[in-house]
Structure 1
Amino acid sequence: MDGFGRVLFIGPFKKWGGRELESVQISLYLKSDKEFFLSTVSELKEFMMYGKKVHTINTELVKHEWRLKVVAIIRAVVKLDLDWFKYVKNQFAIKKMNYNDSHFNYLKATIRSMDYVICFSSVSSSEFLSISTICKMLNKKLIIRTTNTIGKIPEKNLNSITDNFLFIHHNYVNASRLLEQKKHNFKLIDQAAFQEDQLLVLGKKAKENFKFGFLGRLMPGKGILEIVNWFDELNLKNTELLIAGNGILKQDIISFSSNNNISYFGELRIEETAGFMSNIDCLIISSEYETGPLVGIEAMAAGKLILSTDVGCMKGRLENTLNNFWFQLNDSSSFKTNLKAIKKLSYSEYCIIASGNRKRYLEKYSQNIISKSYQKAIKVNFYQGIFNNNELCE
């Protein structure tokens, strides 16, 4: 079989984000005969996500149950809110209209119509429990792409995991967190850059101002406030910090951008990633918790230096390269020392490290390599029915 049958891509998808982008990438790798994207976020109507139409469970429910829509509209009117759709799920609907049963039954019918399911939900979540329970009930093949750092998982969720499931982790550290709680089939597959062609042709740094960059969500846990404060304290000549992204800390970042050395570019579309990378010399990754992050892979493809916390896959990705610039969010001196060390590099030293990062990307993380890893994992494990616990996808 050349195609990958009928595939359901399901998770708490929104209009943009790393989880969303990776799900689209995987769909492109598999080239399935039929694909169906389904978001479990109850407040959203159908939407487009990186060129893919995403259905939502509540959109489908109101098509068949007009009373849910009526109740939602009434609640919206009471709250003087024009957006009635976000009230489809409410306590009245749950208690008096069997909302939860309707939700479960729609999900069950959708999964039944598919050959297999790829889930992007947290293993600890209630939505994972619903999806895994249905797949177990129907004996459906389920792939779980872990998208967050695995913590303590509820017993019910662990018990729903079967030998018919395949987990795909970014790295062994995350896999081991689940292995400590439940033996499971898994493969280790990292990420590839979405705009690979554009990133691979970017040139080296200019010899004038040195530009650091941050690209991601502006929210607690991402370290962005620490970065702008420390950067402002350094006040280095011929050094700039470029920030792009969106989130609840946006106004804080805008206030810092009045500083001539700090610039805020707002939220970027995925097509603008390469343009942002072309304007920086070094990417800063300051997250406390990540599974990737994808932006680190993009910086490697772009041939940029990386100043990072020890988060997600970053240490493994840059192992045995000359890019050895690490800091801790609870230690400002580690950030400042490494930033200054990068600034002191000669142009030739910079180019050697940057070229090494791109070389590592091409050797281990190109789209060709990652797509083959997914194809092999699914064909071998699901079509041929062969499971090899703890085996790394090559």
Structure 2
Amino acid sequence: MKKKILFIGPIGDFGGRELETGFMAKSLSKDFDVEILSTGNLTLISQIFDFVPTEIVQTLNECIYKNSFRFRILSYLSRIKSNQKKDKYSFVSNTLAKRLGYRDFALNQLRIKINNFDIIILCMQLTSNYLKEIVEYSHGLQKPTVLRTSTTIKESDITEKDWLKEITLFIHHSESNAKKLEFIENYNYTLIDQCTFKEEEMLQIKSVETFKNLLYVGRISEEKGIVDFVELFNKLETDLTLKIVGDGEQMKELRVKSESNKNIELLGFLNQDEIVKQFQDTHAIIIPSYEESGPFVGLEAMASARLIISTKVGAMPERLKGLKNQFWFNVSDSNSLIKVLGDIKKLSNQQIKNIAEENRLRYLDNYQMDKIESQYKNAIFKL
């Protein structure tokens, strides 16, 4: 009989966490019975369904809606009052519900779920809601818990968190993130990075040989730094063009800052097939993030043999260590960006091609999909 794995995390519709959780679940579903419980809200367009069927995915609010008449009524009333076209489960965690014990009931639903599984895999940040309670409850039942950390671990994230020692295994993208938790007693971790999920298509893209445009792919939010980058880009005297793929809470602000620059094009959200087409037409990927664990787009750039211009964030310094692609900049320092762009402009076509192909070779050596899948399987089997 197969062991049962429950994935828990704030899974939504779009983003690296959705893609990675889906890939992990798909990789392990061949050897385990897998289910996914999202502590956030998602819809049928979520990218997680690129990997797994809808029947193994459920949201915490859906559980609460189905198992509590009181919260079901409150959800119904909240939906009428808001007059918004969202699914009925999105209204379960309304203001009145939170006053009337929503969190306690939610924790009880989590415990009921956990009781039915052998291994709990948490795709979360250290500050994610319910993480502490899930870890402590699972530990009390002697169920192995695995935390796949996401985003940059900050000093403020690890204060007063003695319960972290109850996590069986940490999975990190980078050694730099892993080292921040070395204070944990009996600290057990492994490093597993990401891969591109359009690997075959990315690897078939002809390597770049020139430098005339930039592409950003990611969430339009504060930690991604894209709004601040556009401010820098607006100040440059350059013929470079910039395409921006993504959506998020800072989209309105981004439109305002971009509208006067004819060299910037906002493309909004694109699916994975459409993103591959954008990679075919671009020369360099820009990563202006302040906080990341990956980022995912960095490996897409490597697989597609593109130049990478990045802040020293997440796993990027480790991914590019020893390569000629050392185009680092600081979002708050325009001179650092000017220098990097100037350095690339001085390169010959052959030099650009060599750097791009070296990036692809690093991807092939370390990050191919079957290698990452095997690493996940090995880590879980060892539990």
Q: When the two structures are superposed, what TM-score results if normalisation uses the length of structure 1?
A: 0.87
Cα distance in 1 for partners of 2:274, 2:36 equals 24
8 Å CA contact 2:164, 2:184 repeated in 1: no
- Secondary structure, in 3 states, of the residue corresponding to 1:179? coil
Confirm or deny: 8 A CA contact 2:93 2:102 kept in the other structure.
Answer: yes
For residues 251-270 of structure 1, the aligned pairs below 5 Å read 251-255=252-256, 256-257=258-259, 259-270=261-272
The residue correspondences of 1:361-380 to structure 2 (distance < 5 A) are 361-380=363-382
2:17: which partner in 1?
19
For residues 44-92 of structure 1, the C-alpha deviation after alignment (integer angstroms, 9 at most, x for no partner) is 5777433332311121222122221112223444455565644423465
Mapped to 1, the partners of 2:357 and 2:37 lie a distance apart of 40
What is the aligned partner in structure 2 of residue 240 from structure 1?
Answer: 241
**Correspondent of 1:218 among 203, 220, 234:** 220
Corresponding position of 1:67:
70
Map of 1:189-338 to 2, 5 A cutoff? 189-205=192-208, 210-237=212-239, 239-255=240-256, 256-257=258-259, 259-338=261-340
SS of 2:112's equivalent? Answer: helix
Q: Give me the TM-score of the superposition, normalised by structure 2.
A: 0.90
Matches within 5 A, 1:150-165: 150-151=153-154, 152-153=156-157, 157-159=161-163, 161-162=165-166, 165=168
Letter in 1 for 2:233: F
- Opposite residue 279 of structure 2, the aligned amino acid is M
1:185 is matched with 188
In structure 2, how many angstroms separate the alpha carbons of the residues matched to 1:108 and 1:369? 34
How many angstroms apart in 1 are the aligned matches of 2:228 and 2:44?
37
Does the 8 A contact of 2:8 with 2:122 survive in 1? yes
Amino acid at match of 1:26: M
Give the corresponding residue for 1:33: 32
The whole-number CA distance in structure 2 between the counterparts of 1:82 and 1:14 is: 17
Contact 1:128 1:157 in 2 (8 A): no
Equivalent residue runs for 1:381-392 within 5 Å = 382=383
- The 2-side partners of 1:81 and 1:20 are apart by 24
Deviation at 1:226, TM superposition (A): 3.1
2:120 counterpart (117, 122, 125): 117
How far off is 1:258 after superposition? 5.0
Given that residues 11 and 42 in structure 2 are in contact (C-alpha distance below 8 angstroms), is that contact kept between their aligned partners in structure 1? no
Whole-angstrom distance in 2 between the partners of 1:366 and 1:71: 47
**Residue 70 of structure 2 corresponds to residue 56 of structure 1:** no
1:202 Cα deviation after fit: 0.4
Higher mean displacement: 249-258 or 277-286: 249-258
Does the Cα contact within 8 Å between 2:208 and 2:356 map onto a contact in 1? no
1:8 corresponds, among 6, 27, 38, to 6
Give the C-alpha shift of residue 110 in structure 1: 1.2
2:244 alignment partner AA: I
Describe the shift of the 1:124–1:161 C-alpha distance in structure 2 as closer, same or farther (beyond 3 A): farther
- Stretches of structure 2 that go unaligned for 5 or more consecutive residues are none
Alpha carbons of structure 1 residues 176 and 340: separation in structure 2 relative to 1, 3 Å? same
- Against the structure 1 CA distance between its residues 248 and 155, is the aligned structure 2 distance closer, same or farther, given a 3 Å change threshold? closer
Q: Is the 8 A contact 2:228 2:331 kept in 1?
A: yes
Equivalent residue pairs, number = 374
Given candidates 88, 94, 115, the residue that maps to 2:92 is 88
Displacement after TM superposition at 1:153 (Å): 4.2
Q: 1:169 to 1:214 in 2, by over 3 A?
A: same
Contact 1:136 1:160 (8 Å CA) reproduced: no
Which segments of 5 or more consecutive residues in structure 1 lack a partner in the other structure?
Answer: 383-394
- Report the Cα offset of residue 111 of structure 1: 1.3
RMSD of aligned Cα (Å): 2.4
Cα deviation code 1:144-186 (max 9, x no counterpart): 1001222334666432532x61100111211121223554211
CA change 1:75–1:242 in 2 (3 A) is closer
Supply the distance in 1 between the matched residues of 2:74 and 2:362 (Cα, whole angstroms).
56
Structure 1 residue 216: Cα displacement: 1.0
The aligned residue for residue 386 of structure 1 is: none
Structure 1 residue 121: Cα displacement:
1.6
Displacement of 1:210 in angstroms is 1.3
Asked if structure 2 preserves the Cα contact closer than 8 Å seen for 1:124 and 1:157, the reply is no
- In the other structure, the counterpart of 1:172 is 175
- How big is the shift at 1:225? 2.6
